[in-house]
Every structure is written in structure tokens, then in C-alpha cells.
Amino acid sequence: MGEVHPDFIQTLEHQPKLDITEAEGIPLIDLSPLNSLDFDTDALARLVAEIGDACKNWGFFHVINHWVPLQALEKVDLTSRKFFALSRDEKRKVRRSRANPVGYSDFGITKNNSDWKEVFDSIIEDPIVIYASDEPDDKELKELHNQWPQEVCEGYNAEMQKLSNKLMKLIALSLGLEKDRFDGFFKEPTTFTRLNYYPASPDPQSTLGLRVHKDAGALTILVQDDVGGLEVKRKGDDEWISVKPIPGAYIVNVGDLIQIWSNDKYESVEHRVKANSEKERYSIAFFLNPSHYIWVEPLEEFINEENSTKHKGYRWGKYYATRKLSNFKKVVTAGNC
Ligand SMILES: O=C(O)CCC(=O)C(=O)O
Ligand SMILES: [Fe+2]
């Protein structure tokens, strides 16, 4: 491999340290009480409390006993590996465009000042409707459609939707809300799955697989392979903590929307992916996003005399359009959505 283009070199502040604390601290949560036939309200209350503590103290947690069948994951993982092994020209046949920003992107490798990665995005419902432009008063809508390998992701996406639904209910309960409180936001979800491929980097000390960012949606559910590299900024001391791969577990993190809806009771936490000089790495991220027309603002339950609103409202779909179209303009954005 050749030398790293200077635009990929991270500033000192963002360069990964060699010796990074392992994430013993990131909570590991067993979801099996939800599955139990003899419904145990004490176990459920303990689970809700664990979720609440994890969201408050970390913004990140692992889940096990999550019912996502291993075969569904293995199938999509295999497809991902086969897809990224294709030639660049072949992959570019399904590349994202301004007209349909769903599919393959190698902006990470080819665009200046970006991340050492390639991605493939697929939406969970085909088509999804988004705003055609980021102009606030422009009401025009357009449809996004999946490209290959859509059908492979379908089974996986359905499983992830079920899991995200359960997690949103647990999070609602942990915030003292009705369990269905968030349901109305996801009637026509703009949720998508991203296959990530991080090739080995010629200079892992000064590059990143994925730069420091927060996730813009409601919730992210990620599975990483055994290479590792994901790091989370610990609340309290801002130390970068490496998220150790746990076989069979998913990593869940709170996105910006939960932070806003909860009026900062829970926070969306910064994270990044270290580059690796020897091994390529694969991960699969499921980004739970609301309907395009949803107005995002703190829930009224969290506004009172002591707690004023901490966020200005915005239309999710307008923000989403700005983000999706930004790769096709010369706009640099700092988060994922
Ligand atoms: O690949 C990973 O471990 C993290 C990916 C991520 O943070 C993202 O795509 O937003
Ligand atoms: Fe992320």
C-alpha cells in the first residue's frame, strides 16, 4: 500500500493513542427477561434500570440474548465480504448518487479529508420518502430505492427492526415514559443499514477508520467483527475507551434524537474507529431514524419550571436531506445519519 494522502492525516488531538483502555466499563445487558415465559415484573424492572444507567452513564452498551438469529447475521456478513471484494468498478455500478443517495460509497477513500472506509447503505423499507431538497420551505418529496444486494439485507433488517423496537420501549420506560411513547415517530421510518468495510491502512497512527462523530438518528445497533477498533469517549473524563468485540453481542448507542427528546437526560456520545495496519475490518450498523415529517424537539414531559428546553426544534427530513445530499456538494458534515 502507498503513502497516506496528507488530507487523511488526523490532527494530533484526534490521533489515536497506542495504549487505549479496554472497555470493561461498557455495560453488558442481558435482554432475556423480555423473553421469559413466566413474565417476571421484578426482572423487567431491573432490566429497565440497567438500560437507564447505561444510557445515562455511557450512552453505549452491549446487548446479549437479543433474539437476532445468527443465520440472519451470517448471511448479511457474507454478502458484505463478497460485495467489498468486488473490483472498484463493479462496486461503483451501485454507487450512491445525488438522485438516489442509497448504495455504495468510497468517498471515505477517495474524497479529501475523510475516513479510511467504504460503505454500502440499504434502506429498511423500499421505497422511503424524503424531502427532495434541504430548502426549509420546499415541500417536494422524492423516493429512495435500494440497489443490490437489497434482498440479502431484508431478513436482517426485519430482525433489527424488531430489536430496535424493543430497545426503544425499554428506553422509554427507563425515562419514566409510557413504553409506546416513541412509536408515533417511526411510522414511515428513514432507517437504514450500513455495511462498513475498513481496509488496512498504510498509516494507522495518523489516520482513522472513521473520524470522531456522534450518530444523528435515534439509536444505532452495531455488530463488529473480531478485529476491533471502535472507541468511545467516556463521559466524565473524556478518555477514549476501546470497545472490545464480544462474540454474539450487539453494541447499542443513543443518538442525537434521544438526547433531544429526553432534553439531555441521555446524551449522544462521541465515538470513532481506529485504523489498523494489518487487518481489514467489517462492521454492520443499523441506524434507527424517524419519518421524514417528524418535528424534532424535547418531549413536553421533560419541560417544566426547572427544566427549560435545551434544543431548538427542527424537521428531521430536512436535516436528513441536507446530510444525504452533502456528499454531493462540497459540504463537510461531522456526524453520521
Ligand atoms: O464501525 C464501527 O465500529 C462504528 C461505525 C459508526 O460509528 C458509524 O457508522 O456511525
Ligand atoms: Fe457512529
Cβ < 6 A, ligand 1 pocket: 194, 196, 210, 215, 222, 224, 230, 271, 273, 283, 285, 336
Q: How confident is the model at residue 2 (pLDDT cuts 50, 70, 90)?
A: very low
Whole-structure pTM value: 0.89
**Atom 9 of ligand 1: nearest residue by CA position:** 285
pLDDT at 329: 56
Structure-block grid coordinates of residue 243: 470497545
Give the pLDDT confidence score for residue 146 in this predicted structure: 87
What grid cell was written down for 181?
411513547
What band does 333 get if pLDDT is binned at 50, 70 and 90? very low
Judged by average pLDDT, the poorest of 79-88, 284-293, 320-329 is: 320-329
Q: Which one-letter amino acid corresponds to residue 61?
A: F
Using pLDDT thresholds of 50, 70 and 90, give the confidence band for residue 29: very high
d(CA 144, CA 160) in angstroms, rounded, equals 20
- Rounded to a whole number, what is the distance in angstroms from the first to the last CA of the chain? 30
Please give the pLDDT value at position 110: 60
Atom 3 of ligand 1, residue of closest alpha carbon = 230
CA 68 to centroid of ligand 2, rounded, Å: 21
Q: Helix, strand, or coil here: 125?
A: coil
Q: What is the mean pLDDT of residues 185-210?
A: 90
Asked if residue 249 has pLDDT above 90, the reply is: yes
**Closest approach atom of ligand 1 to CA 215:** 10
Three-state DSSP at 195 gives strand
Confidence grade of residue 331 (pLDDT, cut at 50, 70, 90): very low
What pLDDT, on a 0 to 100 scale, did the predictor assign at position 217? 97
Q: Which residue do the cell numbers 424537521 mark?
A: 315
Residue 253: partners with Cβ closer than 8 Å, 6 or more residues away: 59, 60, 61, 215, 219, 220, 222, 232, 268, 269, 271
pLDDT at 137: 87
Compute the distance from residue 240 Cα to the ligand 2 centre, in Å. 14
The DSSP line for 198-252 is: EPPPS-TTT-EEEEEE-B-SSEEEEEE-TT--EEEEPTTT--EEE----TT-EEE
Give the model's pLDDT for residue 12: 46
Which atom of ligand 1 is least distant from the CA of 272? 7
Task: Give residue-wise pLDDT tens across range 224-233.
Answer: 999 999 999 9
Q: Give the model's pLDDT for residue 172.
A: 98
User: 197 Cβ partners below 8 Å, 6+ apart?
Assistant: 80, 84, 117, 118, 119, 280, 281, 282
How far apart CA 325 and CA 319 sit, in angstroms, is 10
Name the amino acid, one letter, at 242. S
The yes-or-no verdict on residue 88 having pLDDT over 90 is: yes
pLDDT higher than 80, residue 19:
no
Q: 227 CA to middle of ligand 1, Å? A: 13
Q: Which residue has the cell 455511557?
A: 58
Give dist(CA 14, CA 114) in Å, integer.
Answer: 13
Q: What is the pLDDT of residue 233?
A: 96
Looking at residue 151, what is its pLDDT?
67
- The pLDDT assigned to 315 comes to 95
pLDDT tier for residue 38 given thresholds of 50, 70 and 90 = low
pLDDT tens for 295-321 read: 999 999 999 999 999 999 999 999 988
Maximum distance among all Cα pairs of the chain, rounded to whole angstroms: 60
Q: Do you find a cis peptide bond into 149, omega within 30 degrees of 0?
A: yes
Amino acid symbol at 297: E
ipTM of this predicted complex?
A: 0.99
* 224 alpha carbon – ligand 1 mean position (Å): 9
Tens of pLDDT, residues 91-116:
999 998 888 888 999 876 665 556 88
Other CB atoms within 10 Å distance of the CB of residue 18: 8
Residue % of the chain over a pLDDT of 90: 65
* pLDDT value of position 311: 96
Task: State the Cα–Cα distance between residues 308 and 313, nearest whole angstrom.
Answer: 13
Does residue 208 contact residue 115 with C-beta atoms inside 8 Å? yes
Q: Whose CA is nearest to atom 1 of ligand 1?
A: 283
- The count of other CB atoms within 10 Å of the CB of residue 63 is 24
Strands 295-296 and 281-288, how do they pair? unpaired
